[in-house]
Every structure is written in C-alpha cells, then in structure tokens.
C-alpha cells in the first residue's frame, strides 16, 4: 500500500501515520520528522533546513525530494509506505512520479485530510511532543496521564518551535498557496480520496481502514 497523506498542518497526518504504519506494517516516512532529526543532530541538512522551518516556509524542493527518493530505494518499502508531508509542491509531486516511474512503481492513493482552519489552529497550538520518543500529544484532545511527561517512555514533553501562533498562520498560508494545488493534481490522476480530518483519532482511523479495503489496496 503506497500512500501519500495530504492535508494542512494539524490535520492529523502524523498521528494517523503512526497507527497505520503499525497496523499495515509499512514504514512511515515523514519529511518533517527527517528534517527535525537532522536539525537535532546538527547535520548540514539540518543547518540548511532550520531557517525555513522556523519561519514555516518550505525547505527547497531539490533538498527534500532527494531525501525521499533515496529513502524509497531502501528494501523495507517493498510492501508499501506512507508518505507524510511529502510531496508538498507540484514540483515535488512531479519529481516523485518520475522517480517512481523509473523504479516501475507509483503511488496507490493520495488521501486528503480535509480539515477546518479552526481545528488545525487549535490542534497545533495544543500539540506537545516527547523529546525522547517523538510521540505526539495534545493538551486537551490527547493529554498524557501526567502533565509534561510521556506515557510511553517517561520523556519530557515540549512544544515544537514552529507551533507558535505566528508561524502556524504562515504554515497555513504556505499550505494554501503551495500544497493545495496537489488536490487537483491527484484528482486528475484518479488517485485522490477525501476524508474528514476533523474526526476524532479512532473514528478517522476506521474511515481510513474502510477506504483502503474498499479500494482493495490493503
């Protein structure tokens, strides 16, 4: 099952990817996570990406596409994968298609998490992430048992530096301008499936599972 998850920041792409990856035993490939790891490790990629990420701007296409294409050459993607947060521009989508065609492959479905701006803002401003294992919480929707502490590993929870109101507003604008055209791109290819990103985590997971089995890709 080769999936692209599309939708605004805060739509729940990362949250669903974690569950879907476990359920279908396919890797979750998040360009946001890869870039944040590179920033944390002080790698040249991270140094290059940080200034864009802090402002809520997109990291240049050639940088991000190169990372994904290399990742898709690894053996663990044979059964499928979930692309979370990539592609995010028409150029990325076209280059992804070209690279996959070169591997005699292609994606099976692009799932669009249609999400209201109100939901997105509320989710992003309340998100907390574990410093050790990366698990995502939400202060109201998905709170940890003990405030500020990860249920899974006991790690400290922190707020992503780009989850402040000013950067969130810019990320939403960048999404509207640069990523939303991908909905038409995948619709034209007959690959788009729309789901509601406003649903609760478990409800949305059920909708996704049914969508995949109806399309006979799971």
Which amino acids are annotated catalytic?
13, 88, 127, 160, 171
Using the rule CB under 6 A, is 184 a contact of ligand AP5?
no
Contacts to ligand AP5 from residues 17-46, by CB under 6 A: 31-32, 35
Closer CB to ligand AP5, 31 or 212, in the complex? 31
CB of 153 to ligand AP5, least distance (A): 16
Backbone angles phi and psi of 146, in degrees to 5 = -115, 125
136 counts as binding ligand AP5 under rule CB under 6 A: yes
CB of 33 to Mg ion, least distance (A): 7
Pairing between β-strand 2-6 and β-strand 127-130 as defined by DSSP bridges: unpaired
User: How far apart are CB 1 and ligand AP5 at their closest, in Å?
Assistant: 19
Q: Which are the contacts of 86, defined by CB distance < 8 A and separation ≥ 6?
A: 4, 29, 30, 31, 64, 68, 92, 96
Closest residue by Cα to residue 202 from 6, 22, 16, 26: 16
Q: Which residues are CB-neighbours of 166 under 8 A, at least 6 positions away?
A: none
- What 3-state DSSP class applies to 82? strand
Please pick, from the candidates 51, 200, 206, 215, the single residue that binds ligand AP5 as defined by CB under 6 A. 200
> Residue 192 gets which letter from DSSP?
E
By CB under 6 A, tell whether 2 contacts ligand AP5: no
Least Å distance between CB 216 and ligand AP5? 25
Find the binder of Mg ion among 14, 56, 87, 197 (CB under 5 A).
14
- As a whole number of angstroms, the distance between CA 194 and CA 215 comes to 13
The one segment of 14-22, 40-48, 50-58, 159-167 that binds Mg ion by CB under 5 A? 14-22
The closest residue (CB) to ligand AP5 is: 32
β-bridge partners, 130:
157
**CA dihedral in degrees (90, 93, 97, 98; nearest 10)?**
60
Task: Note whether 12 binds ligand AP5 by CB under 6 A.
Answer: yes
Report residue 181: phi and psi, to 5°: -55, -15
Least distance in angstroms from the C-beta of 32 to Mg ion: 5
Question: Binding marks (x or -) toward ligand AP5, 94..113, rule CB under 6 A?
Answer: --------------------
Helix axes 61-71, 44-55, angle to 10 degrees: 120
Query: Judged by CB under 6 A, does residue 4 bind ligand AP5?
Result: no
Q: Which residues contact ligand AP5 by CB under 6 A?
A: 7, 9-15, 31-32, 35, 52-53, 56-59, 64, 85-86, 88, 92, 123-124, 126-127, 136-138, 141-142, 162, 171, 199-201, 204
């Amino acid at each position: 099952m080769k999936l692209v998850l599309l939708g605004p920041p805060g739509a729940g792409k990362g949250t669903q990817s974690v569950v879907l990856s476990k359920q279908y035993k396919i890797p979750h490939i998040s360009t946001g996570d890869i870039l944040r790891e590179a920033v944390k490790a002080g790698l040249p990629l991270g140094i290059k990406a940080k200034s864009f990420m802090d402002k809520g701007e997109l990291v240049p296409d050639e940088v991000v596409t190169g990372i994904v294409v290399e990742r898709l050459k690894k053996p663990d993607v044979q059964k499928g994968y979930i692309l979370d947060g990539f592609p995010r521009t028409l150029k990325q989508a076209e280059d992804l298609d070209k690279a996959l065609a070169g591997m005699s492959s292609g994606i099976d479905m692009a799932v669009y998490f249609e999400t209201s701006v109100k939901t997105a803002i509320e989710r992003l401003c309340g998100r907390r992430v574990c410093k050790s294992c990366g698990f995502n919480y939400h202060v109201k929707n998905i709170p940890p048992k003990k405030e500020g502490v990860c249920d899974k590993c006991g790690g400290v929870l922190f707020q992503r530096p780009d989850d402040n109101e000013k950067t969130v507003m810019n990320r939403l604008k960048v999404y509207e301008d640069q990523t939303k055209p991908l909905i038409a791109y995948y619709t034209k290819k007959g690959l788009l499936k729309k789901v509601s990103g406003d649903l609760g985590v478990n409800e949305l997971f059920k909708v996704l599972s049914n969508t995949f089995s109806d399309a006979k890709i799971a």
